């Protein structure tokens, strides 16, 4: 409260300072912003750790976490006639990307938080009181920069009412791979969704998002429909991606990170910023390790203008001929892989047919492949209904080899207990349906859908 009193007195009693700052506050003079220079990241150590993770079958990282402890209200004060600002410039030399973890986040109504790249090319936010969640955290998507500015804006009138933000920056993530690399990120055999000869997969593709977990690792996931058709933001990814009840608030999903046209095999690095359409935060609803499935409920609905699709599903024992996986390999733009042959039921990494097995086996892809980061990708049948999600395998552009997907039909009942099965959440009306079609966000009758 002492700091609050000082700020109110400063704003009220020093009008000359207020007027002097007004011209440079927005846009502000970057050279006058207080700077936090982060310690150098040992990239050799980080890459060796990634090699070990991959040998152990774990998800690779694209960033290194740097612990900080910055209560933002104690840094970088600036004023104008209406607002009080706190600005902090954060630099991690050589980073391909930077993302931030606010381990305490609660803003009063009227306050806003924005993160800019120092070159002005990227911006995320403003985050507001609408982003306050019970878990009290906020994680940003990666910005393609090694130098960013955090800006907290508070109207003087709000501060004078005694409403003070609670905002603490706890971690910065120094990207060293994937996002921001100036090279093709996925293999030369990969193909954009727009390369499909038939538009049959276009709706299904809109359900798929790129997922960042704890600011350092990445996977693929997808929005999924439920029998109430109410648009609750249920989202599926792979269990081995490491989402837990404790770290679910760190989940950031990026939508529409894709090419609208079919690009050639020698495609250059993506031109789109992954932070264009994103949402942050989730709660874990169910997990079942044997089929490698995790069901999350995202903190918010996707914006209607993002045109996100809620994928349908099929939990029948059918083994379809002709399937598609849609995924984000190595943080790249959205890709499509097609298999034209009948799929087999078996167990993870097993080849022999097992009729009641808990996985589907794709023998080889006719178009595309899967790679690191594809984990959690939906496997669709010809009706564009999900029948499983990617667990892993040996497929690559240089190897026509098998992949295994955890079966949706087995995950439905999972371990038979709450928190271990999908049915509690995806059959909210208790219809016992075997199949459900997909639904577009614009078709949902939800009063709280974001405009």
Tens of pLDDT, residue by residue, the chain (451 residues): 444 444 444 444 333 223 222 323 225 678 788 899 999 998 888 888 888 887 777 888 999 999 999 887 877 777 666 778 898 999 999 999 999 999 999 999 999 999 999 988 889 999 999 999 999 999 999 999 999 999 999 888 887 777 788 999 999 999 999 888 877 788 899 999 988 877 889 999 999 999 999 999 999 999 999 999 999 999 999 999 999 999 999 999 999 999 888 876 666 656 667 768 999 999 999 999 999 999 999 999 999 999 999 999 999 998 888 999 999 999 999 999 999 999 999 999 999 999 899 999 999 999 999 999 999 999 999 999 999 999 999 999 988 899 999 999 999 999 999 999 999 999 999 999 999 999 998 777 554 544 4
Which CATH number does the domain 2-175 belong to among 3.40.50, 2.60.40, 2.60.120, 3.30.70? 2.60.120
The domains of the chain are located at 2-175, 191-443
Helices (H), 117-250: 156-160, 202-205
| Candidates 240, 396, 424, 440; catalytic one | 240
Is the full-model pTM beyond 0.85? yes
Strands 309-310 and 252-254, bridge-based pairing: unpaired
> For residue 5, what pLDDT is reported?
47
177-to-56, 293, 328 alpha-carbon distances in Å: 19, 26, 14
Residue 299 annotated among the catalytic residues of the structure:
no
Helices (H), 200-274: 202-205
What are 257's strand-pairing partners? none
CATH of 191-443 given 3.30.530.20, 3.40.50.720, 3.40.50.1000, 2.40.10.10: 2.40.10.10
Tokens of 440: 């577009």
Residue 21's pLDDT is 28
Q: Return the number of other C-beta atoms located less than 10 Å from residue 141's C-beta.
A: 26
CA 379/CA 408 separation, integer angstroms:
9
| Residue (of 72, 80, 89) closest to 30 by Cα position | 89
The catalytic position among 259, 375, 411, 423 is 375
* Cβ-Cβ contacts under 8 Å for 339 (sequence gap 6 or more): 322, 323, 324, 362, 363, 364, 365, 366
In this structure, how many other beta carbons lie within 10 angstroms of the beta carbon of residue 360?
A: 27
Q: Judging by DSSP bridges, how do beta strands 435-436 and 403-407 pair with one another? A: unpaired
Q: Would residue 147 show up in a list of annotated catalytic residues for this protein?
A: no
Q: Distance between CA 415 and CA 412 in Å, rounded?
A: 9
- At residue 430's C-alpha, the angle toward residues 428 and 433, to 5°, is 105
Query: Burial, 409: exposed, middle or buried (Cβ in 10 Å; 0-12, 13-18, 19+)?
Result: buried
* Angle ∠(224,403,209) on CA atoms, nearest 5: 30
How far apart CA 111 and CA 388 sit, in angstroms, is 42
Would you call 61 a catalytic residue per the annotation? no
Q: What is the pLDDT of residue 3?
A: 47
How far apart (Å, rounded) are the C-alpha atoms in residues 303 and 250?
19
d(CA 216, CA 249): 14
Q: Tell me whether strands 312-314 and 385-393 are parallel, antiparallel or unpaired.
A: parallel
pLDDT of residue 13: 34
Cα 174 to its chain centre, rounded Å, is 17
CA dihedral 24, 27, 33, 39 (to 10 degrees): -170
Options 80, 131, 147, 292, the catalytic residue: 292
Determine the length of the chain: 451
Is residue 253 within 8 Å of residue 303, measured between CB atoms? Answer: no
């Amino acid at each position: 409260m002492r700091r609050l009193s000082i700020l109110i007195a400063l704003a009220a009693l020093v009008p000359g300072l207020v007027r002097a700052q007004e011209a440079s506050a927005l846009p502000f003079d970057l050279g006058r912003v207080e700077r936090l220079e982060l310690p150098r990241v040992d990239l050799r150590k980080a890459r060796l750790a990634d090699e070990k993770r991959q040998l152990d079958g774990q998800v690779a990282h694209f960033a290194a976490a740097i612990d900080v402890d910055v209560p933002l209200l104690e840094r970088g004060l600036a004023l104008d006639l209406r607002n009080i600002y706190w600005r902090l410039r954060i630099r991690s030399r050589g980073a391909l990307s930077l993302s931030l973890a606010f381990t305490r986040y609660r803003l009063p109504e009227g306050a806003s938080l924005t993160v800019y790249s120092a070159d002005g090319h990227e911006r995320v936010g403003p985050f507001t009181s609408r982003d306050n969640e019970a878990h009290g955290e906020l994680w940003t998507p990666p910005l393609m920069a090694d130098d960013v500015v955090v800006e907290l804006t508070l109207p003087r009138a709000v501060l004078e009412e005694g409403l003070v933000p609670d905002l603490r920056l706890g971690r910065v993530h120094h990207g060293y791979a994937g996002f921001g690399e100036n090279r093709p990120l996925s293999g030369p055999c990969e193909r954009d969704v727009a390369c499909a000869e038939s538009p049959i997969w276009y709706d299904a593709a809109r359900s798929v998002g790129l997922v960042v977990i704890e600011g350092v690792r990445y996977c693929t996931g997808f929005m999924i429909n439920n029998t109430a058709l109410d648009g609750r933001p249920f989202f599926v990814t792979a269990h081995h991606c490491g989402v837990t009840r404790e770290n679910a608030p760190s989940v950031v999903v990026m939508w529409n990170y894709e090419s609208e046209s079919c690009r050639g095999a020698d495609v250059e690095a993506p031109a789109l910023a992954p932070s264009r359409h994103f949402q942050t935060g989730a709660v874990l609803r169910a997990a079942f390790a044997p089929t490698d499935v995790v069901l999350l409920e995202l903190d918010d609905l996707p914006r209607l203008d993002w045109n996100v699709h809620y994928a349908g599903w099929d939990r029948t024992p059918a083994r379809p001929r002709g399937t598609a996986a849609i995924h984000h390999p190595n943080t790249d733009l959205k890709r499509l892989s097609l298999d034209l042959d009948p799929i087999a039921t078996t167990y993870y990494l097993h080849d022999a047919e097992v009729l009641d097995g808990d996985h589907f086996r794709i023998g080889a892809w006719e178009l595309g492949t899967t790679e690191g980061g594809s984990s959690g990708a939906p496997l669709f049948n010809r009706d564009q209904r999900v029948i499983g999600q990617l667990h892993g395998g040996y497929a690559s552009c240089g190897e026509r080899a098998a992949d295994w997907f955890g079966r949706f039909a087995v995950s439905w009942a999972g371990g038979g207990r709450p928190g271990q099965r999908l049915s509690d959440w995806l059959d909210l009306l208790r219809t016992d349906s075997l199949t459900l079609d997909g639904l577009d966000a614009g078709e949902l009758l939800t009063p709280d859908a974001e405009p």
